[in-house]
């Protein structure tokens, strides 16, 4: 087992000498922390997820209301109440997990589908800002990043101002509607 650990360490050192780690990002110096996520440097705009948590709470309430109104024997089981409690816990967890947009010097960061995503300034085709949503279109065929004012409670006017300066700095098309 020790030889396997040495091989892993040797390969990791080779990759770090090349300037890349196995995930394809530039090597991170020890002590500087992660470059991804909402805790890095740059301007951070946080929102709040409300639709899915509300839907889960309503679903748990509907499930409990139908079962209690029906008066079936399954109402007294532990699994029934555990299911309802787990729906509520999932709703709380989703509500507390805030979506974000972090605008760094040369990069944009966000979390999509529970993974951190990064777009370099050169990878951005266009940024569109309206009073109710911000859309960031990548050059490659990836999915657009859309940040809604009503759905996710983002401060879109402030985001638009900061993204406009980012777009001017990096010569990215910025459309304000």
Report the predicted TM-score, pTM, of the whole model to 2 decimal places. 0.69
Q: What is the pLDDT of residues 42-93, one digit of tens each?
A: 889 999 999 999 999 999 999 888 878 877 666 668 888 899 999 999 999 9
To the nearest 10°, the Cα dihedral for 117, 120, 125, 131? 60
pLDDT in tens, 119-129: 899 999 999 99
Radius of gyration of the chain (CA): 22
User: Which helix (H) or strand (E) is 161 found in, with range?
Assistant: helix 156-170
Domains, the chain, in order of start with CATH, read 116-176 (3.30.720.210)
């Amino acid at each position: 087992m020790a030889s396997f650990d040495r091989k892993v360490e040797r390969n990791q050192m080779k990759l770090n000498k090349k300037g890349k780690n196995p995930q394809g990002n530039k090597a991170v110096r020890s002590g500087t922390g992660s470059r991804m996520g909402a805790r890095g440097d740059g301007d951070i705009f946080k929102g709040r997820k409300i639709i899915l948590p509300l839907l889960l709470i309503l679903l748990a309430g509907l499930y409990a209301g139908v079962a209690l109104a029906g008066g079936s024997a399954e109402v007294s089981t532990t699994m029934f109440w555990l299911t309802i409690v787990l729906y509520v816990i999932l709703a709380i967890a989703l509500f507390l997990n805030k979506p974000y947009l972090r605008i760094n010097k040369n990069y944009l960061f966000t979390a999509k589908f529970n993974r951190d995503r990064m777009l370099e300034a050169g990878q951005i085709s266009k940024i569109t800002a309206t009073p109710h949503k911000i859309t960031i279109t990548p050059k490659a065929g990836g999915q657009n990043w859309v940040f809604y004012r009503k759905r996710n409670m983002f401060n879109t006017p402030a985001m638009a101002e900061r993204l406009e300066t980012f777009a001017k700095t990096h010569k990215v098309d910025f459309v304000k509607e």
